[in-house]
């Protein structure tokens, strides 16, 4: 444990007092200090000036990261007949209908993204209490309730990231691996920030993007200049 303590202390000291830097500076610093024994994920957290208790201040959306996330995404699809076959051909990991509903109700959730054809929603709707808190509920607004199952599966597998403002107006997501080239991580970050900017709700008042922080899985956060990240 002492080794971990030393490593953690060294990383914290490296980023102490570093704030409001450019995206490039933050990524370089995080990459230099991401020295865990596994390939750490680069994570973004954005504090938004919204109150998610109000429907007109909800922030949610989806963005295809130009360089993917580096993560293997397991996709489940609720579909029948030809659409189920289409899902399997597109590379879905789990495909089913009532049988899949029963599996999920039993507490087995072996997927990171859930897609459904519209006719399956009466079945999927029964899983709201299970899938909702995990942010897995299919939703037409982010393209996961669709007849174009092939495109939805391929997008999920190809590095598409969903985002949703949680309590307190915080949006967070994994946007690549520490092993990625710096330029690729910067591209991913700017694409994500741009998507959140475009998802600004009608009810948002005052400053929309208040704070942006980047970190690796095991590392402390580094705050980034909002103007730089948003390309102002």
| Structural domain boundaries enclosing 211 | 18-69+161-229
Q: What is the pLDDT of residues 154-193, one digit of tens each?
A: 999 998 999 999 989 999 999 999 999 999 999 999 999 9
CATH, residue 144: 3.40.50.790
Residue-wise DSSP of 17-40: T--SB-HHHHHHHHHHH--SSS-P
Please tell me whether residues 95 and 140 are part of one structural domain: yes
Number of domains observed in the structure of the chain: 2
Kindly state whether residues 86 and 59 are assigned to the same domain.
no
pTM, whole model, 2 decimals? 0.83
DSSP 189: H
Residue 12 included in any domain: no
Q: Are residues 60 and 166 in the same domain?
A: yes
- Let me know whether 57 and 97 are in one domain: no
Phi, psi dihedral angles at 141 (to 5 degrees) = -65, -25
Check whether residue 47 and residue 92 sit in a common domain: no
**Does residue 102 share a domain with residue 52?**
no
Name which of 226, 222, 224, 232 is nearest 208 in CA terms: 226
Are 79 and 149 contained in the same domain?
A: yes
Torsion of CA 74, 80, 83, 85, to 10 degrees: 70
Last-in-domain residue among 135, 158, 181: 158
Spatial separation of the C-alpha atoms in residues 70 and 93, rounded to whole Å: 17
Q: What is the pLDDT of residues 86-140, one digit of tens each?
A: 999 999 999 999 999 999 999 999 999 999 999 999 999 999 999 999 989 999 9
Query: Does a structural domain hold residue 179?
Result: yes
Helices (H), 2-120: 2-15, 23-33, 81-90, 98-105
What are the pLDDT digits (tens) for 137-156? 999 988 999 999 999 999 99
Measure the CA–CA gap between 169 and 205, rounded to whole angstroms.
Answer: 13
How far apart CA 223 and CA 133 sit, in angstroms, is 28
Pick the last residue of a domain from 158, 193, 213: 158
User: Could you tell me the CATH number of the domain that includes residue 209?
Assistant: 3.30.190.20
- Dump pLDDT digits (tens) for 44-84: 999 999 999 999 999 999 999 999 999 999 999 999 999 99
Vertex 77, ends 102 and 93: CA angle to 5°? 95
| Domain end (from 158, 186, 203) | 158
Q: How far apart are CA 177 and CA 199, in angstroms?
A: 25
């Amino acid at each position: 444990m002492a080794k971990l303590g030393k490593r953690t202390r060294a990383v914290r000291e490296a980023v102490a007092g570093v704030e409001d830097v450019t995206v490039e500076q933050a990524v370089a610093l995080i990459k230099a200090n991401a020295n865990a024994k596994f390939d750490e994920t680069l994570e973004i957290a954005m504090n938004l000036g919204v109150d998610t208790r109000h429907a007109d201040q909800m922030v949610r959306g989806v963005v295809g990261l130009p360089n993917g996330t580096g993560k293997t995404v397991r996709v489940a699809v609720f579909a029948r007949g030809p659409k189920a076959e289409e899902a399997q051909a597109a590379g879905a990991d789990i495909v089913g209908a009532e049988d899949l509903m029963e599996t999920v109700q039993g507490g087995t959730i072996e997927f990171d993204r859930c897609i459904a054809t519209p006719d399956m929603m009466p079945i999927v709707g029964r899983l709201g209490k299970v899938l909702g808190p995990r942010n897995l509920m299919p939703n037409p607004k982010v393209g996961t309730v669709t007849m174009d199952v092939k495109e939805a599966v391929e997008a999920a597998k190809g590095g598409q990231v969903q985002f949703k403002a949680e309590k307190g107006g915080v949006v967070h997501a994994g946007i690549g691996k520490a092993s990625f080239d710096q330029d690729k991580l910067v591209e991913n970050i700017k694409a994500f920030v741009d998507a959140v900017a475009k998802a600004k709700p009608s009810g948002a008042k005052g400053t929309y993007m208040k704070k942006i922080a980047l970190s690796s899985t095991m590392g402390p956060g580094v705050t980034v200049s909002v103007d730089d990240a948003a390309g102002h």
